[in-house]
């Protein structure tokens, strides 16, 4: 996620901004930049890489100034490079802007601006925004504040912006919708940031802008907040912060993993934003569109990945074969790359990777590419090695995932794969208009269902307390929820160090049932939308051998509640989307058990977030 920092007051803005950007590094980024206004005009430096790289670039006498803005960029439009880094200047060089978010309709705005003679240096949506503001400001001869408001009323998307004019070194205009922005109120000084960490050492008084709010930060004046839509003034609420630095980086959560579990309503919304147009009955994915023929005419999809990404691929196998009626093979990348696989030009290989840097996955896709397959990537890191190696792709836009155990990246991967399968099924005429719209509307409803489910984790916490000292767990699922059983087992073992196995529920009688006794907790994923009667029988088989059953069930399911030792209720949805729902309680179960066992949840032993070696 991008980070924004700004300062206006009596101090030298440079160290305030640079240290502030360092406080935001935890958000994940790939480039950084700073712009300040001082006695001798504008100074701006930006580059791909880390804040330390930016400092090296500034080393040759950057100068000082009492007003400035800085940015750490998490690339969404345009790969990480110096040109795409923020801050961005307007064509005339008068306006300087930083932005966290996505402008969905930037392409049409850019087209109109080019037609009016505007030129662009970067590939970013942000540069379009700063030029739109300038175009309006000049054309209507209005103030920066008014131009920002007019521009934002034309924009569709999410933003937290800070912008100033080089002609006015005493004012920064900020605005917020969908991305966080907070203003620190000091003694005759203001701080602007994505969260309070950059200014907590200077002041504990903060105004958190709400969506559709903008503000003028002006030296020697009170903070003026108003509505972007109605222009009505708003009386800002000044918080007296009590948090410490470390807890803010985690958004008040004790661990990044828990924060990322709770972010999944938003991360799936961000993943679907601009792609799933349920009200219009459409899917719009540029990466898919550019290779539509290859995807629609593929003889076979080969999905490669590792760990959780491999599990997302398994879910995709069910979705693609069920809806798009196309053969799918899912391969561990590490096996695929060495088994001399048969690959033809009619194959489409989908490489799934959160980090985009997993060595086995990268090597496997290079092999497939050499043999003529079309390579489609699903990554969470823009400009990562895997993303750059593919012919086309779709980013998951889940934001940086810091916890080693993958959570929001998994559900974002499944959401993107669902969109692709639905797009193919629809374009191949395999779904009626009504069916297609039903799928789109249900997928659109998933973030709200996750939000509702995450209102309380009391039940998973209670169950975790009971079983935190178990030595083994079994996870069982059928159909779409078999891969969820594997994912749930992986989550548990990688952060709590308890051995856990995932199995197709019907497979139990072919061996694992010998393991069942009163010391074997068995997690059974049993939503109504699945092979319900069958999974009920599997639960009975476990109970008949004194196994302890923890069942993930649809809200209000009284039948399994009679059988199982514990039930965790989840929102109902179509079977095809059930992994997006049933995964959530398994993430929480593994998290709470690991915490109760005193494990290092965010950095489990022996594990790395990105396995860049074989």
Query: Considering just the CA atoms, what is the radius of gyration of the chain in Å?
Result: 25
Q: How far is the CB of 473 from ligand AGP (least distance, A)?
A: 16
Q: How far is the CB of 360 from ligand AGP (least distance, A)?
A: 8
With respect to ligand AGP, which residue has the nearer C-beta, 358 or 531?
Answer: 358
Of 109, 306, 422, 567, the one binding ligand AGP (CB under 6 A) is 306
Q: How far is the CB of 300 from ligand AGP (least distance, A)?
A: 22
Structure tokens at 567: 């039930």
Regarding 406 and contact with ligand AGP (CB under 6 A), the answer is yes
Regarding 334 and contact with ligand AGP (CB under 6 A), the answer is no
Q: Where are the beta strands (DSSP E) in 178-297?
A: 182-185, 190-193, 205-208, 213-218, 224-227, 233-234, 239-240, 276-277, 282-283
Of 165, 264, 308, 418, the one binding ligand AGP (CB under 6 A) is 308
With respect to ligand AGP, which residue has the nearer C-beta, 306 or 564?
Answer: 306
Regarding 358 and contact with ligand AGP (CB under 6 A), the answer is yes
Size of the site for ligand AGP (CB under 6 A): 15
Regarding 361 and contact with ligand AGP (CB under 6 A), the answer is yes
Cα–Cα–Cα angle for 371, 290, 274, rounded to 5 degrees: 130
Of 20, 68, 274, 307, the one binding ligand AGP (CB under 6 A) is 307
| Segment near ligand AGP (CB under 6 A); pick from 242-250, 280-288, 303-311, 438-446 | 303-311
Q: Is 46 a catalytic residue?
A: no
CB 597 within 8 A of CB 591: no
Instruction: Report whether the peptide linkage leading into residue 69 is cis, meaning its omega lies within 30 degrees of zero.
Output: no
Regarding 404 and contact with ligand AGP (CB under 6 A), the answer is yes
Regarding 174 and contact with ligand AGP (CB under 6 A), the answer is no
What count of other Cβ atoms lies within 10 Å of the Cβ of residue 294? Answer: 19
Binders of ligand AGP among 336-355, rule CB under 6 A? 353-355
**DSSP notation for 44-76:** EEEEES-HHHHHHHHTTT----SEEEEEEE--S
Handedness of CA 36, 38, 42, 44 (dihedral sign): negative
Of 109, 183, 193, 405, the one binding ligand AGP (CB under 6 A) is 405
Q: Is 47 a catalytic residue?
A: no
**DSSP notation for 396-416:** -------SSS-SHHHHHHHHH
How far is 522 from 550, CA to CA, in rounded Å? 6
Binding-site string for ligand AGP from residue 571 to residue 610, where x marks contact by CB under 6 A and - marks none: ---------------------------------------x
With respect to ligand AGP, which residue has the nearer C-beta, 164 or 395?
Answer: 395
Binders of ligand AGP among 485-504, rule CB under 6 A? 494
Backbone phi, psi, residue 168, to 5°: -135, 90
CA distances from 259 to 94, 149, 250, 294, 436 (A): 39, 32, 7, 38, 33
Q: How far is the CB of 290 from ligand AGP (least distance, A)?
A: 23
Residue whose tokens read 């700073």: 34
Active site members: 2, 609
Residues of the shown chain interacting with ligand AGP in the complex, contacts defined by CB under 6 A = 306-309, 353-355, 358, 361, 404-406, 494, 610-611
């Amino acid at each position: 996620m991008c980070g924004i920092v700004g300062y206006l007051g009596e101090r030298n803005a440079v160290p305030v901004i640079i240290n502030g950007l360092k406080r935001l590094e935890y958000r994940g980024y790939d480039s950084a930049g700073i712009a300040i206004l001082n006695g001798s005009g504008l100074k701006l430096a930006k580059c791909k890489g880390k804040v330390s790289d930016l400092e090296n670039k500034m080393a040759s006498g950057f100068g000082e100034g009492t007003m400035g803005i800085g940015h750490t960029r998490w690339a969404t439009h345009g790969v990480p490079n110096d040109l795409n880094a923020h801050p961005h200047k307007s064509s005339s060089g008068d306006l300087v802007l930083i932005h966290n978010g996505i402008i969905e309709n930037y392409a049409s705005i850019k087209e109109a601006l080019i037609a009016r003679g505007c030129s662009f240096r970067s590939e970013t949506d942000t540069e379009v925004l700063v030029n739109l503001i300038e175009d309006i400001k000049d054309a209507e001869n209005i103030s920066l504040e008014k131009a920002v408001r007019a521009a934002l009323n034309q924009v569709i998307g999410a933003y937290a912006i800070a912008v100033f004019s080089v002609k006015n070194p005493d004012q920064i205009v900020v605005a917020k919708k969908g991305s966080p922005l907070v203003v620190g109120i000091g003694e005759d000084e203001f701080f602007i940031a994505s969260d309070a960490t950059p200014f907590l050492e200077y002041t504990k008084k903060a105004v958190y802008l709400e969506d559709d709010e903008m503000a003028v930060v002006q030296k020697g004046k009170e903070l003026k907040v108003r509505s972007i839509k109605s222009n009505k003034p708003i009386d800002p609420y000044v918080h007296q912060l009590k948090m410490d630095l470390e807890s803010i980086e985690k958004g008040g959560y004790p661990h990044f993993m828990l924060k990322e579990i709770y972010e999944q309503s938003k991360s799936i919304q961000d993943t679907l934003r601009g792609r799933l147009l349920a009200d219009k009955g459409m899917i719009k994915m540029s990466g898919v569109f550019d290779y539509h023929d290859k995807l629609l005419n593929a003889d076979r999809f080969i999905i490669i990945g590792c760990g959780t990404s491999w599990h997302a691929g398994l879910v995709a196998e069910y979705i693609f074969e069920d809806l798009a009626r196309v053969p799918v093979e899912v391969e561990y990348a590490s096996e695929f790359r060495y088994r001399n696989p048969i690959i033809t030009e009619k194959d489409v290989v989908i490489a799934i990777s959160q980090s985009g840097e997993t060595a086995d996955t990268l090597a496997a896709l290079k092999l497939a590419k050499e043999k003529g397959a079309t390579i489609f990537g699903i990554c969470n890191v823009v400009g990562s090695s895997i993303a750059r190696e593919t012919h086309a792709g779709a980013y998951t836009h889940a934001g940086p995932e810091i916890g080693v155990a993958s959570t929001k990246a998994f559900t974002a991967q499944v959401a993107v794969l669902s969109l692709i399968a639905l797009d193919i099924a629809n374009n191949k005429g395999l779904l009626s208009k009504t069916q297609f719209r039903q799928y789109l509307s249900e997928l659109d409803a998933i973030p709200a269902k996750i939000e509702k489910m995450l209102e309380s984790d009391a039940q998973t916490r209670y169950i975790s307390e009971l079983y935190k000292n178990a030595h083994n767990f079994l996870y069982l699922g059928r159909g779409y929820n078999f891969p969820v059983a594997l994912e749930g087992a992986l989550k548990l073992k990688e952060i709590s160090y308890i051995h856990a196995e995932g199995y197709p529920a019907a497979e139990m009688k072919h061996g694992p049932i010998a393991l069942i006794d009163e010391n074997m907790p068995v997690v059974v994923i049993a939503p109504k939308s699945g092979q319900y009667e069958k999974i009920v029988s599997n639960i009975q088989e476990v109970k008949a051998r004194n196994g302890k059953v923890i069942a993930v069930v649809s809200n209000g399911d009284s039948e399994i509640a009679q059988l199982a030792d514990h039930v965790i209720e989840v929102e109902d949805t179509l079977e095809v989307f059930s992994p997006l729902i049933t995964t959530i309680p398994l993430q929480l179960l593994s998290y709470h058990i690991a915490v109760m066992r005193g494990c290092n949840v965010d950095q489990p032993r022996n594990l790395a977030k990105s396995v860049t070696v074989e």
